[in-house]
Amino acid sequence: MAAQAQVKFDPPKTKAKPVVDTLHGVQLTDYYRWLEDKKDPDVIEWTKKQHDYGVEYLNKTQKTHPDLKAGISAYLNMDYEGPLNNVGKRVFQTVKKKGDKQYKTYTIIDGKKILIWDPVTLDPDGKISTSGISYTYDGERAAISAQKSGAEVNTVYFIDTRTGKQIHEPLTGTSGFQWCKDQQHAYVTLRTQEDVDKQRPLKTYYIKVGDPIEKATFVGTTADAKNSFFIYDNRYSDVTFSGEGDFYSNSLKMRPTGSLKDGKLIYNSKKFQAYPEAIGDKLYIKTNDNAPNSRLMVADKLHPDYKNWKVLIPESSTVMEDFVVTKGNNIIVQDKKDIQSRLTIYDIKGKKLRPVPLPEEGSIGSMSYDREEDKLYISLVTFTSTPKTYVCSPKDYKWKLFYQRQLPVDMSDITGEIKFYTSKDGSRVPVFVVHRKDIKMDGKNPVLLTAYGGFQSGIKPGYYGFYAPFIKAGGIVVQPGIRGGDEFGEKWHLDGMLAKKQNSFDDFYACAEWLIKEKYTTESKIVALGGSNGGLLMGAAATQRPDLFKAIVCEVPLLDMLRYHKFLIARYWIPEYGSSEDPEQFRWLLRYSPYQNIRMGVNVPPTLVTAGANDTRVDPMNAKKFVAALQNNPGQTSPIILHMDFDSGHGSGQSTQQSIDNWTFIFEYVMNQLGM
């Protein structure tokens, strides 16, 4: 802090060029609209100067933590061998050895590992990463999607999975790819940069794999780019489902597999969603239709209309997360109670039988079922041990350890807890608190408080080895499950979106206040960190409660909520936030939009705002305009720094070294702000 006091924060100047709009009778002046044009030479120059100055300023004012980079590298740059992935009668594994720039894919034949895919062969700099792999049902071929520098326009490469040899010309300009049941055709969704820039609805085609895209048959699109078209075959029944949906609701059609006819409409909702799984002559549907915690329904393939769906396992007080139907005619349901997941066995008629005995204590991270082999796989997770994969037969539930990832991170002196606190309106909010076992509750501990709270994405117990360098240095990592996520089902999500978005923010502030009250820490010892939707949360924290935080790290954020939906693929998110084009939605967006709620003369805490130059999700204009407005705000004395990643997108597509460098930079900032 002494170093900062000696170096005056004097960033490059930003011109104010006022643009006046009138929206629904309200006159608004936008002084930094000009920063929205990322191709403008003046914007490019301004961005580079801001970034360079921020790096220079931090180099002059921060002390370095010599062991920090090594600690982050121990987690991110190590020998990694992922769990074995069974496809048909084939086995695959994702591997990244220490020093590798990207993840590679291997197959295992007769006990021998054979490299079949390495994206670095496409780009020696490691800027091309694997964004998805779709295997044929027998596992003999794979379609591998790859992206460069985080752009969400993919190229699909086709390989023989025994040799890795490319067997067809790549397909460029794609967004999604999945094999059809016949293993000869595929559904491919196309996307170009122009589609992204102009927010055009994406089109999906049916193609014979190996043919040029010109020979493909169009199968579906949407009327509005905020919705997406979907289509999928069923492995264990000759039906195909398709439809249109946004994040939270969908229509659903059914057709015979292989048919290119439109199909029969069997479900349509503007509030709920349903994506069935067909097995034989039955449809099994986990849905939140009139059931915020979800329920399992069943229908006959010959009578698939919604009116004929019957409740198989009703909604309960816990949240249904997943289910499998076994060959032995049992149903295994994964649900969660107070955000810890567990398994329960039901019979095929929906009668509850008993809990599934677990091999050891922990929360179920995920569940999958291999119907051909009649094997159930689960991942078991805790805060301080790496996830373990167990396998058993549903005939006897005798678990065997299938895989555990071993990491060179010592967590023996670290503990994690699930606690609950009360929010502003009385809501009970879960929170993870992870710290060294010898921590003292003296109100002086440095805290990293991070949250997301949106798009039904909630917190789940998981391994915190990534944070080990910070925790071992005396820090506490705190992650509340604020509203907007799915911690307590769809109602928890609904209570943190659209007109109720302020609840997410209030839950976050209540967590900071609870930490202070419980003597974990104090206001001068809390750094808040969040990205994307969590970056919006950080912008709200900076403008609404600057008193609660020592500093803020605001990553790839949404901040101008009156104009966010006009850029890149952000129309997809209108169902979550709303749009300023609607008078009612404009009013609630205006109340909290961070860019429009910077208070004249009010100093916000030191803030590091990061953005990706190639981000195709959240346009970096949000970060640029917010930084410019804060830096030019009279009374703003704390440093507001813009840090651009010029080689990646929305946090994806980074090489290992890029990730290490970026996270070292962020944790150096956090630890310096906390006086560590």
Cα–Cα dist 664/642, whole Å: 16
Residues 6+ away with beta carbon under 8 Å from 596:
28, 560, 561, 562, 590
Helix ranges (DSSP H) in 497-596: 502-517, 533-544, 574-577, 583-592
Cα–Cα dist 390/43, whole Å: 53
Residues 6+ away with beta carbon under 8 Å from 620:
38, 47, 556, 611, 612, 613, 644
Residue 470 DSSP class: H
Q: Within 10 A of 552 (CB to CB), how many other CB atoms are there?
A: 28
* 8 A C-beta contact, residue 379 and residue 365: yes
* 8 A C-beta contact, residue 251 and residue 262: no
Q: How many residues does the chain have?
A: 676
Residue 33 DSSP class: G
* 8 A C-beta contact, residue 554 and residue 539: yes
Whether 182 is catalytic: no
Whether 650 is catalytic: yes
Beta bridge partners of 114: 107
Catalytic residue among 560, 615, 645, 647: 615
**Radius of gyration, CA atoms only, the chain:** 25
Tokens standing for 495?
Answer: 């209570």
Kind and range of the H or E run holding 427: none
Residue in the block written with tokens 């396998």: 391
* 8 A C-beta contact, residue 162 and residue 145: no
Cα–Cα dist 650/654, whole Å: 10
Whether 67 is catalytic: no
- Interstrand relation of 640-645 and 607-612 (parallel, antiparallel or unpaired): parallel
Beta bridge partners of 267: 252
Burial degree of 328 (CB within 10 A; 0-12, 13-18, 19+): exposed
Residues 6+ away with beta carbon under 8 Å from 540:
505, 592, 594
Catalytic residue among 65, 493, 565, 650: 650
Catalytic residue among 73, 129, 532, 648: 532
Tokens standing for 8?
Answer: 């005056």
Cα–Cα dist 295/39, whole Å: 49
Tokens standing for 381?
Answer: 């997770």
Residues 6+ away with beta carbon under 8 Å from 72:
466, 469, 660, 663, 664, 667
SS3 37: coil
Helix ranges (DSSP H) in 436-560: 468-472, 490-494, 502-517, 533-544
CA end-to-end span of the chain: 11
Phi (first) and psi of residue 526, to 5 degrees: -120, 120
Burial degree of 517 (CB within 10 A; 0-12, 13-18, 19+): exposed
Cα–Cα dist 501/124, whole Å: 44
Which residues are known catalytic residues? 532, 615, 650
